[in-house]
Amino acid sequence: MAVVEIRRLTAEDVATAVEISTSAGWNQTAADWSALIALNPETSFGIDCEGRLVSTATLVCYGDRLAWVGMVLTRAEFRRQGFARLLLERVLGEAEARGVRTVKLDATEQGAPLYAALGFIAEQPVERWVMPKWVVPGRDDASPRAASARALAPGARVPDALAVELDTLAFGTDRETVLLRLGQSSQTLTAHDGYAMRRDGQRAAYLGPCVARTPQAAKRLIHAALRHNEGPCVWDLLPENANAVRLARKLGFTPERRLVRMFRGEPLRAKEGWIYALAGFELG
């Protein structure tokens, strides 16, 4: 019988974790994995079997108000052995020990039954939209007003205080630490009425997060974020935000897959009409 060990992930696991997520068709890079583990060293877990890492799960804690489950992955040849459930029970135990009031995740169709069995309830749909290649709009549509958004190169300490305040109102809790870490590997644009990020992905650029007070602000910020994008791009959004859907479609994105956002514990909804792009299925 193979020896199975649940342990915390470390920076040394990044390369293997990328291999596992890439083989599943996911878009996370080494920078994404490094950020997750660095920000959540006590709540990022893996299972070793036959001497190698075969399964992962992470928990991002936004204080004691909210925690987010992500990166629930198992190598194809080790699936259907209960590894995902073992890791989920571990991360949920960590959330309970920290007094977290709400735990959320974005579930695939395959994973939803397991999450439901662990007490998660469907909240709303989540969709991934894709664009094969960014086509620069005409001069009028590109809106020169995007210049009012400050573009910062990856590595800058962003977003600013106003962007964090808007994000907290929209998301329902403070996630400044995560946003600042994302800023290290993202192009970030900020304005008085919102912010947007774009970062590299394993198979496509990733647009998000983006929070804006108005559809006009979102359009301006997203246009600017995509301006120098040359290849494919993915955009995760809440389809209940009809303005986000209209903007994605107008910009040439099409829906690729649908997930369901689920929660466990207290309901938590905020100004989701301001959320035009998610930070990632593993981050919310």
Enter the tokens of residue 76.
């194809």
Tell me the C-alpha distance between 58 and 73, whole Å. 10
The CATH number of the domain where 64 resides is what? Answer: 3.40.630.30
The CATH number of the domain where 237 resides is what? Answer: 3.40.630.90
Q: In this structure, are residues 163 and 194 in contact, taking their beta carbons and an 8 Å threshold? A: yes
Is residue 14 located within the same domain as residue 135? no
Sign of CA dihedral 16, 18, 21, 22: negative
Tell me how many degrees the CA angle 167-270-238 measures, rounded to the nearest 5. 80
Is residue 67 located within the same domain as residue 18? yes
- Tell me which residue range forms the domain holding 67: 4-100
Tally Cβ neighbours within 10 Å of residue 16: 17
Tens digit of each residue's pLDDT, the chain (284 residues): 577 899 999 999 999 999 999 999 999 999 999 999 999 999 999 999 988 999 999 999 999 999 999 999 999 999 999 999 999 999 999 999 999 999 999 999 999 999 999 999 999 999 999 998 765 454 334 333 333 455 544 544 457 899 999 999 999 999 999 999 999 999 999 999 999 999 999 999 999 999 999 999 999 999 999 988 889 999 999 999 999 999 999 999 999 999 999 999 999 999 999 999 999 999 99
Is residue 170 located within the same domain as residue 271? yes
DSSP state, residue 133: S
pTM listed for this prediction:
0.91
